[in-house]
A and B are shown apart, each in its own frame.
Chain A
Amino acid sequence: MAEFRPHVAEVEAAGGRVAFIGSGWPAAAQAFREEMRLPNALFLCDSERHAYQMLGMNRGLLTFLSPRAGWRYLQALARGHCQTRTQGDNTQQGGAAVVQPDGTLGYCYRSRFAGDHPSVTEVMAAFQSSLSSPVSR
């Protein structure tokens, strides 16, 4: 999700908010926030994974140990992204959602396997669309 880092300030400046949600604990969230160099970003810990479950995020060993996940890991290594120590449930996949103040879910992506990330372009387009929605004015 590091690819979203450059867009956090852009979203805030446009009148939105970005929240990074993980299944680990506050100390891990603080460490990751520092690693991401986003000292003022909102990091939330959903240690019981209630939010993941309610949005239907994928979870399970097959999402973690699949050939596609292994291939994405090798691609990330080739780009110089070496995964450090992790905190949280490694079999829990992530995703992204765009939510408007009235509860409209304008976008929801559920990662299918480890390394399957939501498209920054799609997420930002959904966010821009939410700004022009009457409920966000």
Chain B
Amino acid sequence: MSSNTIPEGFAAIEVVDAEGRPRQLGEVWTDRPAILLFLRHFG
């Protein structure tokens, strides 16, 4: 476990949601704490 801050530029990473809409990763935790689960693969 670590306690620090996210890397610079992490929030600005561009991803797409399951519907194909572009999103910025930082939207996930803008207004609430978030759990990010990094999957090894979908499936």
Contact = CB atoms under 8 A, between A and B. Distances in A.
Interface string B16-28: 1111100101001
Contacts of B43: 24, 28, 31-32, 35, 83-88
Contact of A26 (B4, B5, B14, B16): B16
A86 B38 contact: no
Dominant SS at the B interface? loop
Interface residues of B, number: 36
Interface residues of A, number: 69
Contacts, number: 180
Interface of A: 1, 4, 11, 15-24, 26, 28-33, 35, 42-47, 50-52, 54-55, 57, 83-90, 92-101, 103-109, 111, 114, 118, 122-123, 126-127, 130-131, 133, 136
